Amino acid sequence: MRRLTYFIIAFCVWVLISWPFVAGRIDLQVVVAGLIASAIASLLFHELLPAGHHMLFSPVRIFWLLVFLVVFFYYVVKPNLDVVYGALHPAMPIRPGIVKIKTNLKTNAAITALANCITLTPGTMTVDITPDGYLYIHWINVRSAELTSATEMIAGKFERYIKRILE
């Protein structure tokens, strides 16, 4: 049952990304490729996804996911402009470094989602995750090396939403 659920989710994502509906007809090759890729992904990776997949279909979690997508989009666009400014500025006002942050998330799926959100945000990249909930982040412009303030600046904006969605 779990594989079937993930197959359907993977195929829906494939259709949304590839959009095989062109000029009022369906591109059959794209659909068949999506079916094959979704089947392979669901067979190989179903154990990596949360066992309680039914929790992902809660209306409250879906609402928070939609809110999170808007917030995440904002926090991807804004740092892009900051990185471009730093790269084009003659004095190149950056202070790269690795900072340690602490997450309050408990599940592996939530911690992985947080690490991926941090990495997808321009100017930051997750370098390591420790078993006790610490993340080491390469930050292109270190504004604070202190644990609590760095945690709030880097992870705070995502952590509260991820907790509502995945925990």
Q: Are residues 63 and 45 in the same domain?
A: no
Q: Are residues 113 and 143 in the same domain?
A: yes
- For residue 39, the enclosing domain spans 2-49
Q: Are residues 96 and 156 in the same domain?
A: yes
Q: Could you give the C-alpha distances from 105 to 45, 98, 127, 150, 165, in angstroms and in order?
A: 23, 21, 18, 16, 11
Judge whether residue 53 has pLDDT over 60.
no
Which of 26, 49, 72 finishes a domain? Answer: 49
Confidence of residue 54 (pLDDT cuts 50, 70, 90): low
Q: How far apart are CA 106 and CA 111, in angstroms?
A: 7
What pLDDT score was predicted for residue 163? 92
pLDDT digits (tens, 9 = 90+) for 1-44: 778 888 988 899 898 888 888 777 888 898 999 999 999 998 88
- Output the six-digit token pair for 7: 């197959």
Q: Are residues 114 and 162 in the same domain?
A: yes
Q: Are residues 89 and 155 in the same domain?
A: yes
Q: How far apart are CA 117 and CA 136, in angstroms?
A: 14
Kindly state whether residue 54 falls inside one of the protein's structural domains: no
pLDDT digits (tens, 9 = 90+) for 78-122: 988 888 888 888 887 788 999 999 999 988 888 999 999 999 999
What pLDDT score was predicted for residue 116? 94
**Nearest alpha carbon to residue 124 among 76, 71, 67, 68:** 76
Compute the average pLDDT of residues 121-129.
93
Strands 124-129, 134-139: pairing is antiparallel
Q: Are residues 108 and 26 in the same domain?
A: no
- Output the six-digit token pair for 154: 């880097």
pTM over 0.85: no
| Number of domains present in the structure of the chain | 2
Confidence of residue 52 (pLDDT cuts 50, 70, 90): low
Judge whether residue 48 has pLDDT over 80.
no
